[in-house]
Structure 1
Amino acid sequence: MTADQRNIIITGFMGTGKSVVARAVAERLGRPLVDMDAVIAERAGKSIPEVFSQHGEATFRHYERLLCEELAQQRGLVIATGGGALVDAENRRLLGSGGLLICLDCAPEE
């Protein structure tokens, strides 16, 4: 697999700028952007907080796993994960198998 085929997966804790950085990288490289939380919300027909409050974290994590399985089959994407997506080892394996994982970090005052 060549570098231009590998997905670029941007991850990190909430508030580290995953979506902003992923959008900038996708624009700069001319690649499609996938914001996992946005896709899950669209498919569920609800916001992420609504999915959590109405159906629980297990349902959200199930949606997240299905999306990771789907994205692992695609190439050339820039993917912004949700804050907890890669806490799950299988999600890390799935996304990491076809891409470069980049974890953003920042101090709370930044």
Structure 2
Amino acid sequence: MSSPASLASIAVAFSIALPSLVLAAETRCGWIDNPTPRNWWLEDSQKSWTIMTQDPDRPEGPEGMELIPDLTEGEFIEINGPSYGYACVCMSVETDGDERITSILSVDQLRLAQCRSDKALPSRD
């Protein structure tokens, strides 16, 4: 059985660690591109973020890839066959701080008009 002091120590440790975990998530909104199999990028107002490439060292992509919905069921621009193209999304992600999305926490597909009207994003079409 744990003593009240050790339980208090554990609670303090969690309360210190929790804010750093919460701060790790970033909201990134912009164009999500899937031009060919296993190639994914997100282009937001700051830069182009690599989600996944045909990299043999990272064949499964980041944790949370399964959270990307079937983009063809929403507003989607087909560019390379029926399953490949781009859409507008907001994603909660973790990044390496440089160029790569390392974990996907959630994905919401938006109307194309939302990205098209955002002057901070590159224009499409």
Answer with 1 or 2: which has the greater Rg. 2
TM-score bracket for this pair, using the shorter chain length: under 0.3
More strand by share: 2
Structure 2 length normalisation: TM-score? Answer: 0.24
Greater relative CO, 1 or 2 (CA 8 Å, sep 6+): 1
Structure 1 length normalisation: TM-score? Answer: 0.26
